[in-house]
């Protein structure tokens, strides 16, 4: 690494404990890395969303992009932050997740519509806006965009699948999709 890359690596390790995952890729472009790390830090630690919704956003984007590294790195953090395990499992299996909180359900629906349909219905937007305000929705889109970029990076550069972890998605093995009838059986 050159001096600029070393400087960025030290800063990332200081904030995040080590240079892992996508940062190992992004360091090849120090300016991109610096900006991605800054946006990622905002989305993860500093945006207006409560921690459990920041983690939920990360899981939803990870599943949307089948980003196993990102999912594995955050699934336990999401549950510890308050995302219900049943909702986490539903998202992993591409089923509709259900939340006890009306605000969390509105948030999930908002994220799901933008990820699946690329648009948000007026009713969904109004419900999410009532709970989170315009700042919360802007922060949500910023977080989804950041975590989408993260998933794209992880898959494109085939970042560590963490062989010691159970594959989190039933339809993904390695860096590809498996047909339901060819999926390995589980005990």
CA distances, 82 to each of 14, 85, 101, 140 (Å): 26, 9, 11, 18
Confidence of residue 180 (pLDDT cuts 50, 70, 90): low
DSSP state of 185: P
Considering the domain boundaries, does residue 31 fall inside one? yes
Domain that holds residue 106: 50-170
pTM, full prediction: 0.89
* Token pair in block for residue 11: 């800063």
Considering the domain boundaries, does residue 187 fall inside one? no
The predicted structure's pLDDT at residue 133 = 98
Residue 70 has pLDDT above 80, yes or no: yes
Closest to 54 measured CA to CA, from 99, 104, 120:
104
Considering the domain boundaries, does residue 94 fall inside one? yes
CB 21 within 8 A of CB 154: yes
The verdict on 39 and 79 lying in the same domain is no
The verdict on 10 and 91 lying in the same domain is no
4-41 pLDDT per residue, tens = 999 999 999 988 888 988 999 999 999 999 999 999 98
119-134 pLDDT per residue, tens = 999 999 999 999 999 9
CB 163 within 8 A of CB 74: no
Considering the domain boundaries, does residue 93 fall inside one? yes
Confidence of residue 182 (pLDDT cuts 50, 70, 90): low
The verdict on 84 and 39 lying in the same domain is no
CB 21 within 8 A of CB 44: no
């Amino acid at each position: 690494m050159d001096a600029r890359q070393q400087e960025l690596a030290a800063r990332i390790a200081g904030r995040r404990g080590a240079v892992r995952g996508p940062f190992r890729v992004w360091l090849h472009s120090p300016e991109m890395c610096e900006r991605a790390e800054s946006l990622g830090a905002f989305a993860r630690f500093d945006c207006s969303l409560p921690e459990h919704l920041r983690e939920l956003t990360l899981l939803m984007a990870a599943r949307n992009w089948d980003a196993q590294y990102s999912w594995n790195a955050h699934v336990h953090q999401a549950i510890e932050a308050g995302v219900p395990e049943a909702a986490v499992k539903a998202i992993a299996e591409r089923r509709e997740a259900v939340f006890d909180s009306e605000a969390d359900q509105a948030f999930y629906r908002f994220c799901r519509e933008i990820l699946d349909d690329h648009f948000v219905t007026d009713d969904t937007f109004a419900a999410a806006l009532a709970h989170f305000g315009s700042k919360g929705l802007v922060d949500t889109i910023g977080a989804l965009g950041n975590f989408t970029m993260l998933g794209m990076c992880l898959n494109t550069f085939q970042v560590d699948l963490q062989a010691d972890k159970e594959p989190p998605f039933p339809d993904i093995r390695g860096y590809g999709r498996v047909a339901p009838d060819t999926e390995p059986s589980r005990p």
